Structure 1
Amino acid sequence: MSDRIFISKLCLYGFHGVMPEEKRLGQRFYIDLSCDIDLAPAGQADDYGLTVCYDALCTLAQTTCDSGPFDLIETLGERIAQEILDRFTTIRSVRVTVRKPSAPIQAALDHVGIEILRHR
């Protein structure tokens, strides 16, 4: 099965990072979610109750981000993935990408980030 629900570039504001100013000032993080789920039942029945609400996924990511601060974006990604798998039993796996465009490093770059894949 290759069905998936996805969210791209969800912008969240959080206070995550190793440096003290990151926890004090905060910054934007961009989150991508890709959830492996069988969408046939919802599509065939045209039944909202048989799928996962995009807004619920966004709200879960925001709530998890707000539960910090975390030193690592790896922790943020891991917590989001675990919360998704815990709450939505029809999701078989989830890929979470966390981008950090304002990382306090010398290099000129668009962003740094992590990507994790977790299976049920």
Structure 2
Amino acid sequence: MTDRIELTGLRAYGWHGVYDFEREQGQEFVVDAVLELDLAPAAGSDEVTDTVHYGELADRLVAVVTGEPVNLIETLADRLVEVCLADRRVHAATVTVHKPEAPVPHTFADVAVTMRRTRNP
């Protein structure tokens, strides 16, 4: 499948992390999502109902980031990729969770976890 919808740089505030101060203070997370699906039906009909509505997808992803805290961004990424695969038209999804304010005692640009999952046959 070569057709893709990409939603990158989605920002939301969450309370994820293994340290108490991360759970108390929270921090910004940045999410990139790539959905692989057949976009020919939408291209042919010009109807949003024939594709994944990326605004609604963004709402669902933000709800996960701002929702129940988890210790690891690996767990958060897994929950987010499952949201992407909830639409039966999506054949595969790749999600990257960035944690730019991660508690690392050195200068760094980003910490991120990327997961790619495909729909089970």
Using structure 2 for the length normalisation, give the TM-score: 0.95
1:99 matched residue in structure 2:
98
Deviation at 1:80, TM superposition (A): 0.8
1:89 matched residue in structure 2:
88
The letter of the residue matching 1:98 is V
Partner Cα separation in structure 2 for residue 82 and residue 110 of structure 1: 27
SS at 1:98 equivalent: strand
SS at 1:101 equivalent: coil
Aligned residues: 119
Deviation at 1:66, TM superposition (A): 2.4
SS at 2:69 equivalent: coil
Does 1:119 find its partner at 2:118? Answer: yes
Deviation at 1:102, TM superposition (A): 0.6
Structure 2: runs of 5 or more not aligned: none
SS at 1:64 equivalent: helix
SS at 2:107 equivalent: coil
The letter of the residue matching 1:33 is A
1:11 matched residue in structure 2:
11
Partner Cα separation in structure 1 for residue 76 and residue 17 of structure 2: 10
- Alpha-carbon displacement from aligned partner over 1:23-64 (angstroms, at most 9, x marks no partner): 000000000000001001100121211001011110111111
SS at 1:92 equivalent: strand
Using structure 1 for the length normalisation, give the TM-score: 0.95
Partner Cα separation in structure 2 for residue 8 and residue 83 of structure 1: 15
Structure 1: runs of 5 or more not aligned: none
Aligned CA RMSD, in angstroms, stands at 0.8
Deviation at 1:4, TM superposition (A): 0.5
